[in-house]
């Protein structure tokens, strides 16, 4: 809280002063941008999904006078090219390649070390990056922890979360043939999302993407469901996300915990919504216990989204504390 007991709000909107596309190989060009203080402390924002892309509001989690704010769109989504909706090759979209894309951008920008900020899948990627390149990370600010364990994927896509949102779960099941609704829905959706019938693929993409949009806030926001249902966004979001989950994220089970000793010496803050259905709080708790330098903040009146008021407040408190 502020001195008056009010929750903090985002910093005012700003525009990037530098942007470009970095050729990272495999025919991929990664969009990046910089806003804030050109001489400030570098921070890189890793967006969610995978496949979510960045949004201008994400620049506002950082004091623009203190930070050199770097946003990027991961392979196949946002402004990076080629876009999945335009037929991008998913075979060259893996966790290891994303990590090396981030490292290539750091080198391209001439940055020695930077703070890493990520939520949901962004927390997954931030942890994987910090465990792979620990000397390049000054601090971590993470939200809505996702450790890419099979239990987390099954909870959200194979019925667990559906018990809390039965009417929305029914919409998630609509594209799935009735005789396949007891199967692994991640695998079923993989087939639907890559159907030769464009209508089948589009319908599956919207259902997959809308499911996340409808469950990300403690109090649902219809505009988020509508935003996620836009077909170009939905195709990239659903196909990339499903591609990672059907391939177990291209990492070993529980790898982010078993390799957590690499995080020792890196300070960080974990902000977690108590009622986060997308990424339940047990993952944040497990990470906190494996990473002694971390500070865990559980927000009792919040779900998953970074735009939940309490989560926004504590993320701002964290980024300000590391200025």
Each domain of the chain, given as residue ranges in start order, spans: 18-149+250-321, 151-248
pLDDT digits (tens, 9 = 90+) for 208-247: 999 999 999 999 888 998 989 999 999 999 999 999 999 9
Architecture per CATH, 18-149+250-321: 3-Layer(aba) Sandwich (3.40)
The Cα 13–Cα 39 span in angstroms is 19
* Residues classed as catalytic: 120, 276, 304
pLDDT band at 2 (very low <50, low <70, confident <90, very high): low
pLDDT digits (tens, 9 = 90+) for 157-187: 999 999 999 999 999 999 999 999 999 999 9
Residue-level pLDDT at 220: 86
The Cα 106–Cα 133 span in angstroms is 11
- Say what the pTM is: 0.96
Rounded to the nearest integer, the mean pLDDT of the chain is: 96
pLDDT digits (tens, 9 = 90+) for 291-319: 999 999 999 999 999 999 999 999 999 99
pLDDT exceeds cutoff 70 at 3: no
pLDDT band at 5 (very low <50, low <70, confident <90, very high): confident
pLDDT digits (tens, 9 = 90+) for 90-145: 999 999 999 999 999 999 999 999 999 999 999 999 999 999 999 999 999 999 99
């Amino acid at each position: 809280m502020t001195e008056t007991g009010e929750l903090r709000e985002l910093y005012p909107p700003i525009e990037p002063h530098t942007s470009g596309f970095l050729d990272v190989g495999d025919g991929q060009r990664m969009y990046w941008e910089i806003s804030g203080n050109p001489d400030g402390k570098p921070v890189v924002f890793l967006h969610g999904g995978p496949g979510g892309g960045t949004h201008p509001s994400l620049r506002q989690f950082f004091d623009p006078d203190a930070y050199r704010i770097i946003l990027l769109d991961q392979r196949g989504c946002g402004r990076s090219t080629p876009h999945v909706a335009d037929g991008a090759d998913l075979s060259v979209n893996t966790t290891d390649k994303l990590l090396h894309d981030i490292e290539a951008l750091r080198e391209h920008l001439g940055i020695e070390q930077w703070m890493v900020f990520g939520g949901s899948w962004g927390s997954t990627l931030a942890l994987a990056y910090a465990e792979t390149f620990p000397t390049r990370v000054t601090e971590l600010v993470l939200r809505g922890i996702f450790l890419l364990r099979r239990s987390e994927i099954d909870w959200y896509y194979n019925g667990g979360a559906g018990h809390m949102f039965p009417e929305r779960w029914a919409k998630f099941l609509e594209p799935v043939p009735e005789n396949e609704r007891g199967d692994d829905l991640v695998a079923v959706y993989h087939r639907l999302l890559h159907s030769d019938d464009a209508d089948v693929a589009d319908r599956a993409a919207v259902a997959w993407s809308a499911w996340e949009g409808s469950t990300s806030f403690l109090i649902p926001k219809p505009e988020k469901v509508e935003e996620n249902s836009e077909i170009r966004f939905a195709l990239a979001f659903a196909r990339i996300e499903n591609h990672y989950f059907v391939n177990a994220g291209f990492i070993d089970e529980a790898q982010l915990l078993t390799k957590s000793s690499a995080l020792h010496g890196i300070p960080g803050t974990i902000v977690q919504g108590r009622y986060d259905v997308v990424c339940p709080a047990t993952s944040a708790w497990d990470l906190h216990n494996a990473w002694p330098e971390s500070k865990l903040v559980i927000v009792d009146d919040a779900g998953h989204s970074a735009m939940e008021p309490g989560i926004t407040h504590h993320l701002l408190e964290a980024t300000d504390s590391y200025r």
